[in-house]
Amino acid sequence: MLHFAGAPAEVFGYTATRTHARLALGILLFQDLAFAPLLALATALSVSGDVPGPLWLLSMAGRGLVALVVVLVVGRWLLRPLFREIAHHRSTEVFTLTVLFVSLLAAWATDRMGLSMALGGFLAGMLLAETEFKHQTEVDLEPFKSLLLGLFFMTVGMSLDLAGALAHFPLVIGGLAGAAPPLLGWTAVTNEVHGYGLLLVLIIFAWTPPHFWALAIHRREEYAKVDIPMLPVTHGERHTALHILLYTLILFAVTLLPFATGMSGPLYLVGAVGLGFGFLYWAIVLMTGRNPRAPMETFKYSIIYLMALFLVMLADHYIYPRPMALLLAS
């Protein structure tokens, strides 16, 4: 049962059901919007031999934007007339082959652009979903679903680096332990492990790498003297600065989730966006390497950032005591 401002969910009647729908829709939209850029970024970094700079990141973003534009143009002007013509002939086999061909062609095109084949498949799915034949596509591809899903998990399992995962396992456990206090406090007060408490853990977990790596760059020589294998020592400062920027982007996206899920209101959204842009500024300054004081300044800002973020969240809680989704529904 949901409880808002001390009142049971039944008091709101149909509003509670509408709230669940709004929250679910917000989460799904956020996942769809975040999936494409994160997938393109992760794949491009995995195939790049050198540590990329800001211009490389901009070029990759430009290629992704071009791919999206091409998908929109092709979907509107070419794909719909093609499927209408196939539907006119009522050939299920040709229809299924065309769907598979479009998916493979999109995967090949994004791969040739230096992006991910998986991103091409994702864009092809978006493209097909925009047509009036999306339900027929689901029916025709149903026999392939289990086969392709099993093949997907087989390839993921075969490409898993168990040695690397075990080597980084203590860092993951340590990061989770450091991020757990908000969840422990939430559970102690409410007597339940709630998704909002887990969301606070996720924010701190995503904040920890850029916060600590900035200090590690500043103290790199001292870590090297005592042979402590910190990331700036083992992979260099430029590699570390790049990952600080990437984790800052992830943190920026994660901090929008409290608003997207209805946990916080518009005051938090404004604060999270403003503070996030400040963190991104220092991450970019650190990435360029032009300011020798950037590592320590980034570390200092990260401390202020987290404190200010939770203060804004607390202020938003008292100004907007109910989740934003309920405010919109009432």
CA distance 293 to 161: 37
The reported pLDDT for the residue numbered 3 is: 39
CA distance 222 to 217: 10
Q: Locate tokens 């794949």: which residue?
A: 43
Greater pLDDT, 171 or 127 = 127
Which has the minimum average pLDDT: 1-15, 48-62, 99-113, 180-194?
A: 1-15
Q: Exposure of 317 by Cβ count < 10 A (0-12 exposed, 13-18 middle, 19+ buried)?
A: middle
Q: Is the pLDDT of residue 151 over 80?
A: no
> How large a percentage of the chain has pLDDT more than 70?
70
Q: Is the pLDDT of residue 1 over 70?
A: no
Q: Which of 221, 213, 199, 204 is nearest to 245 (CA)?
A: 213
Q: Is the pLDDT of residue 24 over 90?
A: no
Residues ≥6 apart with Cβ < 8 Å to 128: 79, 99, 102, 103, 134, 137
User: pTM of the predicted model, to two decimals?
Assistant: 0.59
Residue-wise pLDDT tens digits, 124-133: 777 777 777 7
The first and second tokens of residue 135, run together, are 């339900």
CA distance 94 to 4: 54
Q: Is the pLDDT of residue 14 over 50?
A: no
Q: Is the pLDDT of residue 314 over 60?
A: yes
173 three-state secondary structure: helix
Residue-wise pLDDT tens digits, 138-150: 777 777 777 777 7
The reported pLDDT for the residue numbered 166 is: 62
Mean pLDDT of 205-213: 90
Q: Assess contact for 4 and 23: CB atoms under 8 A.
A: no
Q: Assess contact for 140 and 96: CB atoms under 8 A.
A: yes
The reported pLDDT for the residue numbered 303 is: 94
Report the chain's mean pLDDT, rounded to a whole number: 75
Which has the minimum average pLDDT: 155-169, 230-244, 260-274, 307-321?
A: 155-169
Q: Is the pLDDT of residue 260 over 60?
A: yes
Mean pLDDT of 38-46: 59
What confidence tier does 299 reach under pLDDT thresholds 50, 70, 90?
A: very high
Report the b/e string of 15-48 with b at 16+ CB within 10 A: ebebbeebbeebeeebeeebebbebbbebbbeee
Which letter does DSSP use for residue 50 in this model? S
> How large a percentage of the chain has pLDDT more than 90?
15
Mean pLDDT of 3-7: 39
